[in-house]
Amino acid sequence: MPMSDPAATSVRSTSFGNRGLRLSADLHLPAGFDERAQWPALVLATPGSSVKEQVSAIYGSRMAALGFVALTFDPAFQGESDGIPRDLEDPATRAEDIRCAVDHLVTLPFVDEDRIGLLGICAGSGYAIHAALTEHRFRAIGTVVAIDIGSTFRKTPPSGDLFDTLRQLGHARTAEARGAGARRDPWIPDSLAAAAEAGITDHEVLEAIRFYRESAHRHPRSTNRLLFRSYSHLLAFDAFHLVPQLLVQPLQVIVGGKPGSTGQYAAGQRLFDLSPARHKDLFVVDGAGHYDLYHRPEHVGPAVARLAGFYARHLMDA
């Protein structure tokens, strides 16, 4: 499929509902968009802590340049979307956000309901897989640096010990029930200086800080705060356990060639191995780490090219 210029695409604001909440969204539209035509479409699921103007916009604009209507959105409780308490990360709600995004797309007369795909990035991939298990209106599923956030946090809980974290959760919820303020922790240090002060040297963490906190991709609605009670949901979540039984759609898994500390390489391999899909592919972007595949053109380019061919086979020609 020929590549075109993302700058030639356009963005239209929209919104949709999830259980009474309004979710703020953007439609990335192809160059020469004609509402009288029928277009293939993609729903994009963002990484944890990310808003629609960040990673999903990078991929959304590129997929729109390839002829797809790409829907990006802020998860419930985050960004411009509704929801109290703020900064809640609840996998069940994140998955329902994705299903509701399809509900929205099928109401748009210019979207071909038989050619809708799903693309998840980082934690958004885990949520995307979880949603797609029972949402087969998605005809093709793509992931980039997929992680299962539940497995990740069980291996590296915030306190360093899983059962100590569970005890802290109980204490925090008791304190809130008695009127204390809600605890919110940073997803990552707020600056490279803060990371240095804390003695953090992990390359992946530093790259995350550079992208989210100290680059042009920083966004004021990306708060870098996680409501601590979210761990009650996150630590019990498993994104992949029903994949062998239910994920039969074509699957494209993209990982970075540098495994790193996020676990994306192993998680992507596990997802690929578990999938019973007849059409599946695992693509390694050589030399790329987790966060390189968020925004660096030399790494995003090969990922998008692979996704382009995948979605062309399973959506464009459907």
Report pLDDT for 38: 96
Between CA 53 and CA 72 the distance in angstroms is 8
Q: What mean pLDDT comes out for the span 196-219?
A: 97
Report pLDDT for 6: 73
- Domains, the chain, in order of start with CATH, read 6-156+233-316 (3.40.50.1820)
The residue ranking higher by pLDDT, 293 or 317, is 293
Residues 6+ apart with CB under 8 A from 179: none
Q: What is the pLDDT of residues 163-190, one digit of tens each?
A: 999 999 999 999 999 999 999 999 999 9
Nearest to 39 by CA among 135, 127, 105: 105
Report pLDDT for 44: 98
Which residues, in sequence order, are bridge partners of residue 157? none
Mean pLDDT of the chain: 96
Q: What is the pLDDT of residues 87-133, one digit of tens each?
A: 999 999 999 999 999 999 999 999 999 999 999 999 999 999 999 99
pLDDT over threshold 60, residue 3: no
Between CA 93 and CA 21 the distance in angstroms is 11
Which residues, in sequence order, are bridge partners of residue 283? 254
Do residues 113 and 227 make contact, with C-beta atoms less than 8 angstroms apart?
no
Q: What is the pLDDT of residues 60-75, one digit of tens each?
A: 999 999 999 999 999 9
Report pLDDT for 318: 55
∠ at Cα 202 (300, 299), nearest 5°? Answer: 10
Q: How many helices (H) and strands (E) does the chain have?
A: 12, 10
Report pLDDT for 8: 81
Report pLDDT for 4: 56
Q: What mean pLDDT comes out for the span 220-244?
A: 98
Per-residue pLDDT band for 1 (boundaries 50, 70, 90) equals very low
Lowest mean pLDDT across 6-15, 69-78, 193-202, 212-221 = 6-15
Residues 6+ apart with CB under 8 A from 156: none
Report pLDDT for 316: 81
pTM over 0.75: yes
Report pLDDT for 282: 98
